[in-house]
A and B are shown apart, each in its own frame.
Chain A
Amino acid sequence: MAAVFSPRANVIVAVAMLGAVGAVVGLCLWWFAWPRSDYVRHVGWAIQQPVPFSHQHHVAGLGIDCRFCHSSVERSAQASLPPTFTCMTCHSRIWTNAALLAPVRDSLTEDRPIAWARVTDVPDYVYFNHSIHVSKGVGCGSCHGNVARMPLTFKAKTLTMQFCLDCHRNPGPNLRPLAHVYDMDWHPDHATPSPADLMRAYHIGGRNLTECSLCHR
């Protein structure tokens, strides 16, 4: 009687088993790891802008405060992108012939806003309010990273729901004294009040900060 399996069967079975394992591993990576990668979440991607604005130069180099341009951050849900008028506060007299700034001058002469590209964006079903965060001691850098070290601006944190909840469940470690909210290079030192003291000072803790309707309205 002839053999049921030919000698090639050993190879075929081994390849098929390896292939099955590979498919399962690959599927898991594709399904679970890929969507969580910085590549898909656009973390660390410098965004193409009409003008290659450098936060590093303006913030670290010149010492301009965040609020000089993002002036509604203390009063409004939006930190707001500056209008051309704000750029022209200085650039009406400085670098007036720079080719790099041609889109800014065109925007002024044609009375047409500059279409800046969003760097950080949360889904449309999330309502984020800047003013409450900066007035309760959450520093800009806690969500935006150290913008003063970004020649071109990129998203520095994942800004996923997990990211928000990590802080909303335990805000203390991410709070700082009000004087340092806009300080990009701030780190807690021995003089910094403890997280518990900061929570008390800002009256945080009386309300459950993980209520759904806090962010989803």
Chain B
Amino acid sequence: MMPRPATVLGLAAALVLIAGCDDMTKQKKQNPYASRATAPGEVPAGTVAYGEISAPVPPVTMALLERGQTEYHVFCAPCHAETGDGHGMIVQRGFPAPPPLAAERPQFVYDVITNGRGVMYGFAQRIAPEDRWAVVAYVHALQRSQHMMVADLTPEQRVAP
């Protein structure tokens, strides 16, 4: 016996309505980090991350120094303080005080930013290589600004306010 047309129509309408129950805001997709079993494993020692390959040292420009100032403010100033004297807010709250920033070889400063030193953690994951060079340049400028002699200034700089 055939079902009545009204029944067929009713069922069809119900199918259309049921489609509205699908919540597309959450969809099935793979998240490899959701489980320890599928997450990317430990990185073998000595592996160089993409983007971490040694790039040439960028030339010092005003833009580089400004970038270095920003990155220094974000990542270094909490401990080293904006002046570099090592009495930043985190040090005031109990972190061992770092020595005041001293004149060091650029490569040394770069390596300390990358790998850390003593109780200082490395910032390789947080500061990109070109930004590390920017910080190195800014730290150098910061030191020069604090040990500037009048004799080092050009005549134009001396009359400037």
* A interface residue numbers (CB < 8 A to B): 62-65, 67-68, 71, 75, 83, 85-86, 88-90, 92-94, 112-113, 123-125
Contacts and interface: CB of A to CB of B under 8 A. Distances in A.
Contacts of A65: 73-74
B93 interface: yes
Contacts, number: 53
Nearest first, the 7 closest Cβ-Cβ pairs linking A and B are A123-B25, A71-B126, A65-B74, A124-B27, A89-B121, A67-B74, A94-B94
A123 B24 contact: yes
Nearest to A69: B126
B95 A93 contact: yes
B158 interface: no
Contacts of A68: 74-75, 78, 126
Interface in B91-139: 93-96, 119, 121, 125-128
Interface string B17-29: 0000000111101
A164 to B, nearest CB: 14
B90 interface: yes
Given A64-B78, A94-B93, A124 B26 contact: yes
A71 B121 CA distance: 15
A94 B90 contact: yes
B126 A86 contact: yes
Interface in B47-69: none
B43 to A, nearest CB: 13
B121 A62 contact: no
Query: What interface size band does chain B fall in?
Result: 20 to 34
Q: B interface, by DSSP: helix, strand, loop or mixed?
A: loop
A92 B119 contact: yes
Contacts of A113: 33
29 contacts: A62-B89, A63-B89, A65-B73, A65-B74, A67-B75, A67-B126, A68-B75, A68-B78, A68-B126, A71-B125, A71-B126, A71-B127, A75-B128, A83-B125, A90-B78, A90-B90, A93-B96, A93-B119, A94-B95, A112-B36, A113-B33, A123-B25, A123-B26, A124-B24, A124-B25, A124-B27, A124-B29, A125-B25, A125-B27
A182 to B, nearest CB: 8
Nearest to B78: A64
A75 B71 CA distance: 14
Given A65-B74, A68-B126, A124-B24, 15 more contacts: A62-B78, A62-B89, A62-B93, A63-B78, A67-B74, A68-B78, A71-B126, A83-B125, A85-B121, A85-B125, A90-B78, A94-B90, A94-B93, A124-B27, A125-B27
A83 B128 CA distance: 17
